[in-house]
Structure 1
Amino acid sequence: MKDAFSHLDAQGNVRMVDVGAKVPSKRVAIAEAVVELAPATLELLRQSALPKGDVLACAKIGGIMAAKRASQIIPLCHSLNLSYADIRFEVRDTPPQVRIEAEARVTGNTGVEMEAIVAAQSAAAIIYDMCKAVQRDIVISRVRLLHKSGGKSGEFNASELPA
């Protein structure tokens, strides 16, 4: 009989799920986050004219680093040997925002959703950090899983939200 809660044992104690018996498969996860900026801040970002330097380059590197360390941040998250991690940006004028898409891939016994979500959130936080000198009321929103494939549960694709 399957436990009602996978991260609790029969006595109600927290535990890491044993994924050792799962069949390894190729797994992919894509997550997004949106960083809402003032038009003037977005323009400075586009021109690489913010005081801390190239915002998107730093956010890309930091997001990838975060994907690789998700298990150090999320309790009970399995440590994975990622085969791929990337951060992509879409800079939009209307409304003024940066849409972040984080992708993680692995061939293994458990999914990479947390790696993609942590990567998107971290990239968004780095954008905030690098823009805060000129704007403090930046909003980070719409962090969500867009896609996952592989494993027993198969494929998931989020429904479209208005831009």
Structure 2
Amino acid sequence: MFEPVTYSKNMEEKYEQLRKQGEALLSDEKDQIANLSNITALLNQFLDRVNWVGFYLFKEGELVLGPFQGLPACIRIPIGKGVCGTAAETGKTQVVENVHDFPGHIACDAQSQSEVVVPIMIDDELFGVLDIDSPEIGRFSEEEGVLLEKFMQRVVPFIRG
């Protein structure tokens, strides 16, 4: 059903391939949880040197663990706390070179060293965040943060619910 893809070495081309693959994977399904689950699986397969990929969904004033790939994780994160809560509060993608230098970092997995968190807005309202962790310091670039934002904007129609 799902054949492995050889991705381009150029980051923009690589993310364009990811976008096409994601849209093809999600286009025939309307279930929100199924699509969020497939996005995490796709990103986990697509990204190298990561140890956690998942969603925290905004519910009743806080972020609640959603579909993910990786070790068990923190279940609830207050808005404004840690990298995920900061991304949710500010509405800005957070690219953190070293999580130990981030004030108030919430350590769910001691092996995580760097992180990128993309806030997800649907109809100008916070839906949640995409959270990706790596066991390597400096794994994520600002460029990759922007490309992940663009990817999420393209798949939002498939996660509206």
- Structure 1-normalised TM-score? 0.29
Flag the structure with more relative contact order, 1 or 2, with Cα contacts below 8 A and sequence separation at least 6: 1
- Structure 2-normalised TM-score? 0.29
